[in-house]
């Protein structure tokens, strides 16, 4: 039992939650490493939503709300950490929610879909086909889901799949703490923020955003600026670390 006043309480509880989810088959072993990697970058942005990340989150809301066929793609780590937040976002923006796994087995897909449903998500689980121009299991998605979506939110996505979706002409919104990753750099819009801080901010923005703000944000999407700002936050913090 982790004491609630522990300075790293939130981080330790999250790790414990992920460890439990590995035992249940929701999170792949490799998901723990990916999470650790995210932790290091989160540390460098100060474990808070920066102002540029907040702008990206409001822009994500604008893109999801104006999409014709928005889809949220969920993997094991996202489901383990943010199932309730995904449910709230779905209610606020009306997107389809589809499970797509890097380490894919049909059993894992079903366990994760069930977890999402228990958290109130309306899961889109039509038959998956190999539709993306990628080798192996990464090619799988659903024809009426991600394949025909115009806007796709991919929290914690693999770089190859992100690039493939962009190449297919989709507007891709990534949530990725690493501003240098291929995912972060190839996405249309990258939110450099931790998943469970980012999702509620997008949901909140969906509820309160005005038409003029929506238009203004969409017309001024500048992912290079957003990534530069995230990097500036990190270099500032690193430069003063030995002071």
Name the residues that contact its own copies, by CB under 8 A: 1, 3, 5-8, 12, 15-16, 18-19, 22, 28-30, 32-41, 43-44, 135-136, 138, 159-160, 178-180, 182, 185, 224, 227-228, 231, 234-235, 238-239, 241-242
Q: What is the dihedral of CA 85, 118, 77, 135, to 10 degrees?
A: -110
Within 8 A by CB and 6+ apart from 86, the residues are: 72, 74, 78, 79, 97, 116, 119, 121, 199
In the complex, minimum distance from the CB of residue 138 to its own copies, in angstroms, rounded to a whole number: 8
In the complex, minimum distance from the CB of residue 64 to its own copies, in angstroms, rounded to a whole number: 25
Give the up-direction half-sphere exposure of residue 152: CA atoms within 13 A in the CB hemisphere.
30
Distance between CA atoms of 88 and 206, rounded to whole angstroms? 10
In the complex, minimum distance from the CB of residue 14 to its own copies, in angstroms, rounded to a whole number: 9
Rg (CA), the chain: 17
> 139 or 209: whose CB is closer to its own copies?
139
In the complex, minimum distance from the CB of residue 234 to its own copies, in angstroms, rounded to a whole number: 6
Question: What Cα–Cα distance (Å) separates residue 9 from each residue in 2, 6, 13, 16, 38?
Answer: 7, 5, 6, 11, 17
> 68 or 240: whose CB is closer to its own copies?
240
> 22 or 218: whose CB is closer to its own copies?
22
In the complex, minimum distance from the CB of residue 74 to its own copies, in angstroms, rounded to a whole number: 20
Q: How many helices (H) and strands (E) does the chain have?
A: 10, 7
> 30 or 211: whose CB is closer to its own copies?
30
> 28 or 202: whose CB is closer to its own copies?
28
């Amino acid at each position: 039992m982790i004491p609630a006043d522990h300075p790293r309480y939130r981080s330790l509880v999250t790790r414990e939650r992920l460890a439990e989810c590995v035992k249940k088959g929701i999170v792949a072993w490799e998901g723990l490493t990916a999470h650790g990697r995210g932790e290091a970058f989160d540390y460098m942005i100060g474990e808070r939503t920066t102002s540029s990340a907040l702008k990206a989150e409001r822009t994500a809301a604008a893109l999801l709300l104006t999409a014709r066929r928005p889809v949220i793609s969920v993997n094991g780590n996202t489901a383990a950490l943010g199932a309730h937040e995904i449910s709230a976002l779905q209610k606020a923006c009306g997107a389809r929610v589809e499970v797509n796994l890097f380490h894919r087995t049909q059993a894992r897909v079903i366990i994760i879909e069930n977890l999402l449903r228990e958290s109130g998500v309306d899961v889109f689980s039509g038959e998956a086909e190999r539709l993306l121009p990628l080798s192996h299991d990464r090619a799988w998605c659903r024809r009426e889901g991600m394949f025909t979506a115009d806007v796709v939110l991919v929290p914690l996505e693999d770089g190859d799949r992100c690039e493939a979706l962009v190449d297919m002409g989709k507007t891709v919104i990534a949530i990725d703490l690493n501003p240098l990753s291929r995912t972060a750099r190839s996405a249309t819009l990258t939110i450099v923020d931790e998943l469970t801080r980012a999702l509620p901010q997008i949901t909140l923005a969906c509820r309160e955003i005005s038409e003029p703000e929506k238009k203004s944000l969409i017309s001024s999407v500048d992912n290079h600026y957003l990534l530069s700002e995230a990097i500036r936050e990190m270099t500032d913090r690193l430069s003063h670390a030995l002071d």
